[in-house]
Every structure is written in structure tokens, then in C-alpha cells.
């Protein structure tokens, strides 16, 4: 019906997809307001964004909060109320916020403020709100921002890559005597994990392994709210490791990827997909792992825990909640976590405390798994003394899975994790997953940049005049061109170097050019 700001270009395909994803696709008798989220593949090639500082933001933000380049997130506020003046007897409308940022808490809180006003006052309300949002500062990692909108100030801290994993968000916000007192969001993106994982707490271990290995998972839920929260909770449980596969918090039969996901001619893709339409029970029966959940209700005691069942049992529309899979976990269950959570329920501990316990457990699990990999990959870096100014820097040695496996005997996850089980088998499976590939590429890129930086520093320390003494013009010109290329690359890739180092390289280049005959100087200055 309306896109605001008007100049925002969406392709027809994207518009259609957004329309279908903005409404519950199975009959929901529920009246009132619901909120959920979706994630949408961008169609029609790369578009230039308003954000030229993407690179800077993505370098400083945690990997799990980077701005997406090929997907949009949609945050939905849906209202359904009886209305006799409407043809269907109901008023049904959704306000959707589209962004490349995965700030689910911020954007859903924002919608809670805007949507009720919008349904009442329509377009003028959006215009006023967008004018306010236009004045907001950009999201700089590590900063606390005050974001005024509709008479309220939302206060959030943008997480940064240098935050200590697992440290709780800074509690003491600088209140700066803001009046009215700000609406403080403890986290911009973290869900209430305990509430989301209520029915599957005893299987958290299995779900963590399935996510780590990038296995195809279907979440079948009674509503888009439950489906999107469960999918987002699952994708967040590997932090600080980035989940590198595709995921769809809410997916409908009208989706342009529907055929791609339901075909039986090839194996299901590495993706977690949340659905609510019972039709999917039939079309996604061949997927290896199906998690069926009911409504999430917070109650005083541990909710009924779903059972692991054979896929063959997934036949009918009244399929009971459960995890339908033949997967056998590599690691044994952690009974202490369940005991601690149960104790928390009996003592009526607040949900956020339970969530913190759960998140801490998942973080420790991920770190126990990833630390040996980090140690091994760091050992592939050439020694600093092998980096000399006038030779290309040595290569990073190749990652050899068998060599890595040998390091596990004396430095494996058993040092930091009490869980017993087949850790080696888990690593072997992990090596075949997109998550390993994504982690390795990221690390390799960081190490390559570090090498480049060390090389430039070595050049700065070198005595360039002594080097030039016995060199021919050809060799000197060659050096100038190489150094120039290095300098350009260092600036483009924002290598971890001090500005003075870069300036010094620039000064070196000028010095060398100055020592050459004039005709060559002219050529090089024009080059």
C-alpha cells in the first residue's frame, strides 16, 4: 500500500515477497497485535546503499551483527481486529520495517511505539517518525546512542568486536539526566533464549551440534512469532562463531525459493527455515531434522519437554511437538545445565537470569570447540623474523586437518569443557560444513592482512639508501611501483597500521623517485 521513504527502490519480486511474509499464512484465530521477523534474499543485483561506511561498520561490529549485503531483514507488526465496515469483517494490516541490520530488539521496540500510532493516524505519522530517524547518529560499534522518536528516547549500546564475549551489556548507562527517562534496551539483538528454548532445553546440546554443522533444519511452529523467534535463537547459539548458512525466520509457500527448498531431486540446502503452514509437513518430509514446537507459554514450572522421534512418525497434520531426526549427538548431554535451570525455575529466577546461564553455557561450549582451531591456525603464520623488507612476505602455511587432529591430544577441548564424547568425530563433520569454510576464510583474510602490515613495517625500518646503492634503474623503478601498489592496498583494506607508518612509506617513495634521472621522475609522477 505504501513504501516510505518514497525513493526507496524495491523490485517487484521483493515487494511481492514482503507482502506474503508480512501476514500469518495459516489461519490464526487470534485477534490483536503480533510481532515477528523474516529475512529475504535481495533480488535484482547489488544496489548502492546509502551507507558508504559499510566497510568501517562491518570491520568494527561483531561478525554476528554485520550489515548484510545480499539480504534484507523484515520486522513486522501485524494487527487483526474485528471490524464490520471491512468486507472480510476484520481489519488486517501490517507495518514492516526493512533493514540490513539484525537489530531485532531495537526494531521491534521501535515498531511497538510507531505501529499503534500509524494504524490510527496513517501516513503523516510515518513522515514525522522518518524525519526523527533521519536525525539519528549512525550505529558506531562500542557507542551508546540516544535515539529520540515520538516523545520517547530509546537508549542502546551498539556492540563492538572488541567486547569480551559473554560480558553482560554495560548496565550503567550515562543517564545524562535525560528527561523523560530513556527507554533503555539491555541489548540491541539478544533474544530471551530461555523463553525461546523452553520446550527443548534438554536437547540444547543436540541443537547446538546441528547448528555448528550447518545441518538443514525445519522449525514448524503455530505462529510466525514462535517460528521467527526459534530460528533467530538457533542461529544465535554459536556466538561468537558466525553462523554462515542461510536462514529464514519465517517462510511461506508463496516464497520464490519454495521450489528450491522443497525439491526432492537434490539434498536439502544448509538452511534453517521457520514455517507455520501445515502443508509443509508434507512438502518438507524429506528434510533430515524437523523441530515441531507448540505455543511458547511462560509458566512457573519446566514446560513439557519435546521428545526426539523418528522421521517416519511425521505423517499427519496433528503431528505432536518433537524433534524428528535420526541424528546421534557426538557429545554427551550436560546434566548440570538442566539441573541449574530447573533450580532457577523452582526459585522463580527471572527469565533474563536463566537466559544468561543458557547463553554462558553455549558460549563456553563454542569456545571450547573453537579455541583449539584458533591455536592451530595461529601456528600457520610465518615467523616474524622471516619477514624481510625486500622480498615478498612468506605464505601462510596450509591448514591440514590431520595435523590439527594431532594437536587435540594435548590441547583439545577436554581442557576447557567437562563434556565427554566424540570430539574428533564432531571436528571431522565440522570441516565439511559452511561454518568451517566461513570461519577459515575470515581468519585467513585477517592473517594475510596482518602479514601485509608486518611487511610494510619492515620496509619502514629498513635502510633504503643502502639498498639502492648497487641497484639498477629497472630494479629501483620496480620497487617504486610495488611500494605504491602496497600503499594503495593498505589504505583500501584499512590494514592494522599506524598512520605515521603509511606516511613514512609515502615519504620513502618520494625519496627514491627523487634519486632517479629527471625523465624517469616525470614518468613516475604521471604514472
Q: What is the pLDDT of residue 18?
A: 92
- Decide if 502 contacts 492 (C-beta within 8 A): no
Closest CA to 373 of 318, 309, 306, 444: 444
Extended beta strands in 69-208, E state: 71-82, 90-99, 144-149, 152-157, 183-184
93-106 pLDDT tens trace: 899 999 999 999 99
Q: What is the pLDDT of residue 177?
A: 60
Max CA distance (Å), the chain:
93
CA–CA gap between residue 261 and residue 22 (Å, rounded) = 20
CA–CA gap between residue 121 and residue 3 (Å, rounded) = 16
Q: Is the pLDDT of residue 173 over 80?
A: no
- Decide if 308 contacts 179 (C-beta within 8 A): no
Q: What is the pLDDT of residue 469?
A: 78
Of the two residues 170 and 87, the one the predictor is more confident about is 87
320-352 pLDDT tens trace: 888 989 999 999 888 888 889 888 888 988 888
Residue identified by cell 604514472 is 527
pLDDT bracket for residue 375 (50, 70, 90): very high
Cell for 253?
Answer: 509457500
Q: Is the pLDDT of residue 51 over 80?
A: no
Q: Measure the CA dihedral 105/109/110/111, to 10°.
A: 110
Share of the chain above pLDDT 70, in %: 91
- Decide if 196 contacts 296 (C-beta within 8 A): yes
Q: What angle do CA 97, 101, 106 make, to 5 degrees?
A: 65
CA distances from 273 to 136, 227, 262, 490 (A): 33, 9, 11, 40
Q: What is the pLDDT of residue 109?
A: 94
Closest CA to 42 of 284, 246, 280: 246
Cell for 476?
Answer: 629501483
User: Facing residues of 271 across strands?
Assistant: 246
- What is the β-pairing status of strands 152-157 and 183-184? parallel
pLDDT bracket for residue 314 (50, 70, 90): low
67-85 pLDDT tens trace: 988 899 999 999 888 888 8
Q: What is the pLDDT of residue 30?
A: 67
User: Facing residues of 421 across strands?
Assistant: 331
285-303 pLDDT tens trace: 888 999 998 876 665 566 7
Average pLDDT over residues 497-508: 84
SS (H, E, C) 335-387: HHHHHHHHHHHHCCCCHHHHHHHHHHHHHHHHHHHHHHHHHHHHCCCCCHHHC
* R_g of the chain computed on alpha carbons: 27
Find the length of the chain. Answer: 527
Q: What is the pLDDT of residue 172?
A: 45
| Strands ordered across the beta sheet of 144-149 | 144-149, 152-157, 183-184
Q: Is the pLDDT of residue 386 over 60?
A: yes
Of the listed ranges 85-99, 238-252, 333-347, 512-526, the one predicted with least confidence = 512-526
Q: Which residues does 445 contact at the CB level (< 8 Å), separation at least 6?
A: none
- Decide if 290 contacts 311 (C-beta within 8 A): yes
Burial 250-276 (b: 16+ CB within 10 A, else e): bbbeebebeeebbeeeeebbbbbbbbb
Cell for 331?
Answer: 557429545
Closest CA to 456 of 515, 492, 508: 508
110-161 pLDDT tens trace: 999 999 999 888 888 898 999 999 999 999 999 999 999 998 999 999 999 8
Average pLDDT over residues 268-280: 89
Q: Is the pLDDT of residue 527 over 80?
A: no
Of the listed ranges 222-231, 260-269, 349-358, the one predicted with least confidence = 260-269
Average pLDDT over residues 14-26: 88
Average pLDDT over residues 28-35: 77
pLDDT bracket for residue 443 (50, 70, 90): very high
174-219 pLDDT tens trace: 555 666 678 898 899 999 999 899 889 889 999 999 999 999 999 9
- What is the β-pairing status of strands 144-149 and 152-157? antiparallel
HSE-up (13 A, CA, CB side) for residue 76: 30
Provide the 3-class DSSP secondary structure of residue 278: coil
CA–CA gap between residue 295 and residue 382 (Å, rounded) = 54
Cell for 500?
Answer: 605515521
pLDDT bracket for residue 49 (50, 70, 90): low
pLDDT bracket for residue 48 (50, 70, 90): low
Q: What is the pLDDT of residue 168?
A: 57
Closest CA to 170 of 193, 142, 140: 142
User: Facing residues of 272 across strands?
Assistant: 217, 247
Amino acid at each position: 500500500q505504501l513504501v516510505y521513504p518514497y525513493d526507496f527502490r524495491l523490485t517487484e519480486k521483493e515487494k511481492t515477497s514482503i507482502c506474503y511474509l508480512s501476514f500469518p499464512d495459516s489461519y490464526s484465530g487470534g485477534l490483536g497485535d503480533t510481532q515477528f521477523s523474516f529475512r529475504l534474499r535481495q533480488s535484482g543485483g547489488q544496489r548502492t546503499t546509502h551507507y558508504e561506511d559499510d566497510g568501517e561498520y562491518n570491520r568494527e561490529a561483531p561478525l554476528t551483527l554485520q550489515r548484510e549485503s545480499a539480504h534484507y531483514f523484515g520486522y513486522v507488526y501485524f494487527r487483526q481486529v474485528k471490524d464490520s465496515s471491512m468486507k472480510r469483517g476484520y481489519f488486517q494490516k501490517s507495518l514492516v520495517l526493512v533493514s540490513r541490520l539484525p537489530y531485532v530488539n531495537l526494531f521491534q521496540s521501535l515498531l511497538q511505539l510507531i505501529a499503534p500510532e500509524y494504524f490510527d493516524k496513517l501516513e503523516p505519522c510515518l513522515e514525522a517518525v522518518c524525519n526523527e530517524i533521519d536525525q539519528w547518529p549512525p550505529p558506531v560499534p562500542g557507542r551508546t546512542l540516544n535515539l529520540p522518536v515520538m516523545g520517547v528516547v530509546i537508549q542502546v549500546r551498539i556492540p563492538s568486536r572488541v567486547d569480551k564475549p559473554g560480558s553482560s551489556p554495560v548496565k550503567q548507562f550515562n543517564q545524562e539526566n535525560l528527561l523523560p527517562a530513556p527507554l533503555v534496551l539491555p541489548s540491541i539483538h539478544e533474544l530471551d533464549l530461555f523463553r525461546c528454548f523452553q520446550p527443548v532445553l534438554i536437547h540444547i546440546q543436540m541443537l547446538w551440534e546441528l547448528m555448528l554443522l550447518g545441518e538443514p533444519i525445519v522449525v514448524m511452529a503455530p505462529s510466525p512469532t514462535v517460528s521467527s523467534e526459534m530460528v533467530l535463537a538457533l542461529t544465535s547459539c554459536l556466538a561468537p562463531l558466525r553462523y554462515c548458512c542461510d536462514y529464514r525466520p519465517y517462510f511461506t509457500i508463496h516464497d520464490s525459493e519454495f521450489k528450491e527448498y522443497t525439491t526432492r531431486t537434490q539434498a536439502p540446502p544448509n538452511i534453517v527455515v521457520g514455517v507455520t503452514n501445515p502443508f509443509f509437513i508434507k512438502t518438507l518430509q524429506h528434510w533430515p531434522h524437523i523441530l515441531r514446537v507448540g505455543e511458547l507459554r511462560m509458566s512457573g514450572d519446566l514446560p513439557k519437554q519435546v521428545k526426539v522421534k523418528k522421521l517416519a512418525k511425521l505423517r499427519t497434520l496433528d503431528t505432536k511437538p518433537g524433534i524428528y531426526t535420526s541424528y546421534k549427538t557426538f557429545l554427551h548431554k550436560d546434566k548440570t545445565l538442566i539441573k541449574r535451570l530447573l533450580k532457577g525455575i523452582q526459585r522463580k529466577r527471572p527469565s533474563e537470569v536463566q537466559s544468561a546461564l543458557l547463553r554462558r553455557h553455549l558460549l563456553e561450549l563454542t569456545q571450547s570447540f573453537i579455541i583449539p582451531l584458533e591455536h592451530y591456525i595461529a601456528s600457520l603464520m610465518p615467523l616474524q623474523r622471516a619477514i624481510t623488507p625486500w622480498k615478498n612476505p612468506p605464505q601462510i602455511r596450509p591448514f591440514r586437518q590431520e595435523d590439527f587432529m594431532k594437536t587435540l591430544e594435548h590441547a583439545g577441548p577436554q581442557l576447557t569443557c567437562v563434556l565427554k564424547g566424540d570430539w574428533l568425530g564432531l571436528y571431522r563433520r565440522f570441516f565439511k560444513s559452511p561454518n568451517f569454510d566461513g570461519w577459515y576464510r575470515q581468519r585467513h583474510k585477517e592473517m594475510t592482512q596482518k602479514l601485509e602490515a608486518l611487511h610494510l613495517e619492515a620496509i619502514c625500518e629498513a635502510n633504503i639508501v643502502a639498498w639502492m646503492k648497487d641497484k639498477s634503474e629497472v630494479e629501483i623503478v620496480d620497487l617504486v611501483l610495488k611500494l605504491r601498489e602496497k600503499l594503495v592496498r593498505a589504505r583500501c583494506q584499512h590494514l592494522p597500521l599506524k598512520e605515521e607508518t603509511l606516511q613514512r612509506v609515502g615519504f620513502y617513495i618520494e625519496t627514491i623517485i627523487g634519486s632517479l634521472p629527471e625523465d624517469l621522475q616525470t614518468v613516475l609522477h604521471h604514472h
